[in-house]
């Protein structure tokens, strides 16, 4: 299966779907990620906080797929935003994976109350210059956080990974990213197993296109120019989640799915990036 890709603002390509990996760890994770790579996934999203960087690296080695064909992401935890901490944290993440570079590395949360994310961003810029990271990006950044790092360093992130799903369509942030030339990645793209997959609208579209409900949601992300990161413990789900590139939702259907958004639609209440703090 050939997966299309998006071109980032630094010229590198990002496959149009990425394997989410939170809560998948240990030997089962190695097995599952290796199967994912052998089934066609070319992009994997990990994080220091997921405790599975080792499993990702091991799965890559066991897959036999050349390293250069894979896009590997990890993230900087909040406790390491100081320049020297960020610099060593990137190195430690690489050692855990057993890799010598990341394709994409993200600041996991801005933690604006700590006010250290510009320092962290500068460390990422310098790590990129030293060849440890190919593309540098952020996660959960609001427009003011994006503008501040761009103004203070002159370097625009390639990616902003944010929560997006039909109950939290994030039109404001997707537009803000696009206006700055930043690609949006969607975390919890399926609403983390919420009732969104039971929505009658999505079920009727699944019947119309002979797809399952999750494929309809993943396709909605794709047609918005967003890279979704679906996560599963189920190998069959992992396989079918890749099969979204052979049909097209209409503009009207896209708008109907977007209209499912809720005022309090986040999967976890209180994860407003302006105030939320996560240090691990």
Ligand X SMILES: NC(=O)c1ccc[n+]([C@@H]2O[C@H](COP(=O)([O-])OP(=O)(O)OC[C@H]3O[C@@H](n4cnc5c(N)ncnc54)[C@H](OP(=O)(O)O)[C@@H]3O)[C@@H](O)[C@H]2O)c1
Q: x/- string (CB under 6 A) for ligand X, residues 18-57?
A: --xxx----------------------x------------
Q: Which of 31, 156, 223, 240 binds ligand X (CB under 6 A)?
A: 240
230 part of the interface to ligand X, by CB under 6 A? yes
Give the shortest CB-165-to-ligand X separation in angstroms: 6
DSSP 37-101: HHHT--EEE--GGGT-HHHHHHHHHHH---GGG-EEEEEE-GGG-SHHHHHHHHHHHHHHHT-S-
Q: Would you say 264 and 65 are in contact if contact means Cβ atoms under 8 Å apart?
A: no
Residue range at the interface with ligand X (CB under 6 A); choices 33-41, 120-128, 130-138, 227-235: 227-235
Question: Cβ distance 87 to 128 under 8 Å?
Answer: no
Q: What is the DSSP letter of 168?
A: B
Rounded to a whole number of angstroms, the minimum distance from the CB of residue 89 to ligand X is 16
Buried b (16+ CB within 10 A) or exposed e, 122-158: bbbebbbeeebbbbbbbbbbbeebbebbbeeeeebbb
Distance, in Å, from the CA atom of 135 to the CA atom of 117, rounded to the nearest integer, reads: 17
Residues 70-109 close enough to bind ligand X by CB under 6 A: 108
Q: Which of 237, 175, 191, 246 is nearest to 3 (CA)?
A: 246
Question: Interacting stretch for ligand X, rule CB under 6 A, among 16-24, 54-62, 82-90, 255-263?
Answer: 16-24
- 41 assigned to active site: no
Nearest-approach distance from CB 228 to ligand X, in angstroms: 8
Among 48, 170, 232, 256, binds ligand X (CB under 6 A): 232
Q: Which stretch binds ligand X (CB under 6 A): 2-10, 86-94, 129-137, 185-193?
A: 185-193
Residues that bind ligand X (CB under 6 A): 20-22, 45, 108, 139-140, 161, 187-193, 214, 229-234, 237, 240-241
Q: Which residues are catalytic?
A: 50
């Amino acid at each position: 299966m050939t997966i299309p890709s998006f071109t980032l603002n630094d010229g590198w390509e990002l496959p149009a779907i990425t394997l989410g990996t939170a809560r998948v760890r240990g030997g089962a994770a190695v097995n599952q990620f290796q199967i994912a790579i052998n089934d066609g996934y070319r992009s994997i999203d990990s994080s220091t906080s997921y405790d599975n960087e080792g499993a990702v690296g091991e799965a890559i080695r066991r897959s036999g797929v050349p390293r250069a064909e894979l896009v590997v992401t990890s993230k900087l935890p909040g406790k390491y935003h100081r320049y020297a901490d960020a610099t060593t944290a990137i190195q430690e993440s690489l050692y855990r994976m057993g890799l010598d570079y990341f394709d994409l590395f993200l600041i996991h949360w801005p933690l604006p109350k700590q006010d250290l994310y510009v320092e962290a961003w500068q460390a990422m810029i310098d790590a990129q210059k030293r060849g440890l990271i190919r593309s540098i990006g952020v996660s959960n950044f609001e427009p003011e956080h994006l503008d501040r790092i761009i103004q203070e360093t002159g370097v625009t992130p390639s990616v902003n990974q944010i929560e997006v799903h039909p109950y939290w369509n994030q039109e404001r942030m997707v537009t803000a990213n696009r206006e700055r030339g930043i690609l949006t990645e969607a975390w919890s793209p399926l609403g983390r197993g919420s009732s969104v997959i039971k929505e009658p609208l999505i079920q009727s579209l699944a019947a119309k296109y002979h797809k399952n409900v999750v494929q309809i949601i993943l396709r909605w992300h794709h047609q918005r120019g967003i890279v979704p990161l679906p996560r599963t413990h189920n190998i069959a789900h992992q396989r079918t989640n890749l099969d979204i590139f052979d049909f097209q939702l209409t503009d009207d259907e896209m708008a109907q799915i977007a209209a499912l958004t809720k005022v309090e639609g986040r999967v976890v209440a209180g994860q407003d990036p302006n105030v939320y703090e996560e240090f691990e």
